[in-house]
Amino acid sequence: MISPSTDPFLAPYAIHEETSKGRKYREKSHSFRGEFQRDRDRIIHSAAFRRLQYKTQVFVNHEGDHYRTRLTHTLETAQIARTIARALHLNEDLTETIALAHDIGHGPFGHAGEWALRDLMKRHGGFEHNQQCLRIVEHLEESYPDFPGLNLMYETLEGLKKHPENFYKNRKPRFRSLESELVDIADEIAYNSHDLDDGLRSGLVREEHLSDLGLWQDVWKYIKRKYPKHPALKKRRLAIRLIINTLVVDCVQTTQARIKRLGIKSLKDVQAVTRQVVGLSEVKKRQHVELKRFLYKNLYSHSRVVRMTQKGQRFLEALFRAYLKTPKVLPRDVQIRAKKEGIHRAVCDYIAGMTDRFAQDEYDRFFEPYERLA
Ligand code: MG
């Protein structure tokens, strides 16, 4: 078997398999698959991962087939993350695993779903999708006879603990990796650019609204000069592609320069740094934040988007209360967990695991008088 550290491709500050802290429950190694490869495969084969296909990113699933879902968002994030990881000689398998798993803790109906569960769980231990992601991979997935959850590698689990950008200034995490940091950036690059694309596609955002956005203006000027006769749709697609590329290239160059400046030569050096290492240059960061703010104001708070997602929030609240009132309607495994962890946590896990579609069907089964039960 080729071991990663004998692979001259990996940088010394990357995560190497043989210096890993390994898994909580010991397992035999596989004859030709590396440990982080196995982690990635466990995520892909998990039920939580499959359900991403019917979970809302911004547009509720039945609004149209061309909008991003959590699954396509996840795949775009993984693609961007792998590109950056490979360019920086970081561990691509670990990066891909973290990227593929990063959103599996989200409930149905996007942010509205998150707010609903957070409110409902306020006095019962709370709800937060990153925490939920860890709960899924450590407890809730039941696929293996010898251990609960997916028994992922230590570095994968630590990589799934998302830290806000200024986290490193105030606290020292028990472990950090550049692989994990880069997935955060890849996630942001993916959603800012594809939400802009979906916003334009839906007509909720129009090209003339974008005149103050530096990131858009730079690529748009170039496209208009180079392809003046290109149809509008193709121009838009090209613009989104160029924005992603600009940010990815900037991230790779900025990070390479920082690694050099901070004198990072080993994983130990990575642990000692008190600032974010993977990131964008000041100019691109400012433009990226500008785009993020624009999307908040013009897309996420648009009355049509709010209306779509508010409906979801109401479904979830009604379902939550109905389950609390009559726990006997819950599936057996949820009832068993309720005995161990309390009814609120068990119902929260159950609802958080639902797709938009399942939650809507379940709502009908509960509240529509003519709906059949089976
Ligand atoms: Mg995400």
Structural domains in the chain (count): 1
132 Cα: distance to centroid of ligand 1 (angstroms): 14
- The whole-angstrom separation of Cα 126 and Cα 322 is 19
pLDDT in tens, 87-142: 999 999 999 999 999 999 999 988 889 999 999 999 999 999 999 999 999 999 98
Protein residues within 5 Å, CB atom, of ion ligand 1: 103, 187
Mean per-residue pLDDT over the chain, rounded: 91
pLDDT at 274: 87
Q: At what angle do helices 92-101 and 178-202 cross, to 10 degrees?
A: 50
Instruction: Establish if 17 belongs to a structural domain.
Output: no
Band (371; pLDDT cuts 50, 70, 90)? low
For position 257, which CATH number holds? 1.10.3210.10
Instruction: Establish if 94 belongs to a structural domain.
Output: yes
Specify the pTM: 0.93
pLDDT at 96: 98
Residue 7 Rama label (left phi>0; alpha psi -120 to 50; beta): beta
Q: Scan for tokens 């160029």, then name that residue.
A: 242
Token pair recorded at residue 232 = 């509008």
Residue 4 has pLDDT above 50, yes or no: no
Instruction: Establish if 3 belongs to a structural domain.
Output: no
Percentage of the chain exceeding pLDDT 70: 94
pLDDT greater at residue 161 or residue 79: 79
Q: Which domain holds residue 212?
A: 33-367
232 Cα: distance to centroid of ligand 1 (angstroms): 28
Averaged over 145-167, what is the pLDDT? Answer: 87
81 Cα: distance to centroid of ligand 1 (angstroms): 12
338 Cα: distance to centroid of ligand 1 (angstroms): 29
| Cβ neighbour number for residue 219 with a 10 Å cutoff | 18
pLDDT in tens, 43-101: 999 999 999 999 887 776 667 778 889 999 999 999 999 999 999 999 999 999 999 99
List the one residue out of 233, 203, 238, 202 whose CA is nearest residue 218. 238
pLDDT at 307: 84
Alpha-helical runs (H) found in the chain: 35-44, 47-50, 70-87, 92-101, 110-120, 129-135, 154-159, 167-170, 178-202, 214-226, 232-261, 267-272, 282-295, 303-325, 332-341, 343-352, 356-367
